[in-house]
Amino acid sequence: MHAYDVVVIGSGPAGEGAAMMAAKNHRRVALVERYREVGGGCTHWGTIPSKALRQAVTRLTAIRRDPLLREITADLRVSYPQLLRAKDQVVDAQVASRQRFYERNKVPVFRGDARFVDANTLSVDREGAAVTLRAEHFVIATGSRPYHPPELDFTHPRIRDSDSILSYPDHPFSITIYGAGVIGCEYASIFVNLGSKVTLVNTQDRLLSFLDDEIAEALSYHLREQGCMIRHNEQYDHVEAREHDVLLHLKSGRKIKSDVLLWANGRTGNTDGLGIEALGIQINSRGQIAVDSHYQTAVPNIYAVGDVIGPPALASAGYVQGQFAVQHLIGGLDGPQRLDLIPSGIYTLPEISSVGQTERQLREAKIPYEVGYAQFKSLARAQMTHETSGMLKLLFHTETLQVLGVHCFGDRASEIVHIGQTVMASRDLNNLRYFIDTTFNYPTMAEAYRVAAHNGLNRLA
């Protein structure tokens, strides 16, 4: 039997954040990981491989668009399996880095399936050999996996989810993506830029309803311009998987035929087998654990963080949640975590990122606001890189000039948004005039903030 102050279950971003915070605070901490390598789904099947694939596609499309390279690369043909190999080096490098984190911080990693014996005891089973771990506190960070409707046969080679699509062996001529959430939109963008015929089936009336309306409309426009067919307000009825294709039947009566069906409609928390129900911890129908504002479950010494608790289900948010939970359990925090300044990043082509409130939220709250825009096509840096699609949008209070929301659509959006995030987080700096009074390097994409601030001030009466 091994005794620790904290045992973390899962080595994805949330688990890593928790383990590193415990180690840095000189707690005896151990990590349990089901798989052979650390990193969790984020590193092996989710964020890292899909974004590495997206970056490879981005480079390919940039080469084809560049007037200097267009002629000499006119006959360049790259297949989906070839691009998949580009992700492997990134995944290997990430695993090696994360393994070193645990080694340098002297955090032992127990590999195997975890199951609670009681609120202070965990059994870790690896191929029939069990190890018992006792701890004062546990942090569950087991992540999530793609939701599988029981009637769909995911063993069929033409039916894939967001994990198994990363091992699809062919270059699909056509692909149907059911589910137009973040994952569905990202893969639609990847495949349409690879030249595949893409149909994106959305169960809602618009894409990504949590986004600012104007940004969501811009995404819809660009996906359609790239050749993606979007079908809104459609519901799945059944799937007919055949030898050479797959037929998606919708409740509207429409049938969509393609080489492969990518199911991207929902995720399930990895809670099966943990035995936490016997401790009084409730799990919802999607396998997610309910927690309070400190990430405590119904059993106070057991915390849960990351995708296993549901939204926002971001790698960045999971890491911070893991840190916060450990800070709370060691007595370093009293108040709840601030969630309003966690940015979202959507890695479509072009990408999207935002932080703060949307126009719809501000209207509903009856907050007087105005908008400042910077169109990327007017920026020298964007003209040089031929990435002129997109814009930066600033929402600010008409009286105090406090920045209330930052929404960016275009190249490097997930990087650009952090400037606005930093200003919004500061009580002293949060004023639209900060962007006018600050000198930005030229030419850069960052100067979009100065352009958007001037544009917004010009709209005030």
Per residue in 274-310, pLDDT tens?
A: 999 999 999 999 999 999 999 999 999 999 999 999 9
Which residue, 110, 98, 154, 158, is CA-closest to 134? 110
Section 120-147 average pLDDT: 94
Mean pLDDT of the chain: 93
Section 47-56 average pLDDT: 90
Of the candidates 265, 289, 321, which is a domain's last residue?
265
Section 214-239 average pLDDT: 96
Which residue, 8, 12, 1, 9, is CA-closest to 28? 8
Joined tokens for residue 336: 């709840």
Q: For residue 1, what pLDDT band results from cuts at 50, 70 and 90?
A: confident
Q: For residue 63, what pLDDT band results from cuts at 50, 70 and 90?
A: confident
Q: For residue 71, what pLDDT band results from cuts at 50, 70 and 90?
A: low
Domain count, the chain: 3
Joined tokens for residue 329: 């359990």
Q: For residue 205, what pLDDT band results from cuts at 50, 70 and 90?
A: very high
Same domain, 204 and 73: no
The pLDDT value given to residue 333: 72
Same domain, 321 and 354: no
The answer, yes or no, to whether residue 323 has pLDDT greater than 90, is yes
In a domain, 151, yes or no: no
Q: In whole angstroms, what is the distance from residue 75 CA to residue 304 CA?
A: 51
Same domain, 434 and 415: yes
Which residue, 166, 165, 194, is CA-closest to 178? 165
Q: For residue 159, give every residue at least 6 positions away whose Cβ sits within 8 Å of its Cβ, in sequence order, or none.
A: 152, 153, 239, 241, 246, 260, 261, 263
Of the candidates 265, 300, 321, which is a domain's last residue?
265
Q: For residue 155, what pLDDT band results from cuts at 50, 70 and 90?
A: very high
Q: For residue 348, what pLDDT band results from cuts at 50, 70 and 90?
A: very high
The four Cα atoms 442, 447, 453, 454 give a dihedral, to 10 degrees, of 40
More confidently predicted of 340 and 206:
206
Q: In whole angstroms, what is the distance from residue 332 CA to residue 30 CA?
A: 20
pTM summary value:
0.92
The answer, yes or no, to whether residue 72 has pLDDT greater than 80, is no
Same domain, 32 and 134: yes
In a domain, 339, yes or no: no
Q: For residue 355, give every residue at least 6 positions away whose Cβ sits within 8 Å of its Cβ, in sequence order, or none.
A: 341, 342, 343, 344, 405, 406, 417, 420, 421, 424
Same domain, 191 and 55: no
In a domain, 443, yes or no: yes
Same domain, 319 and 400: no
Instruction: Give the structural domain span for 295.
Output: 2-146+268-329
Tell me the pLDDT tens digit for each residue of 377-396: 999 999 998 899 999 999 99
Which residue, 31, 1, 24, 277, is CA-closest to 140? 31
The CATH number linked to 173 is 3.50.50.60
In a domain, 336, yes or no: no
In a domain, 69, yes or no: yes
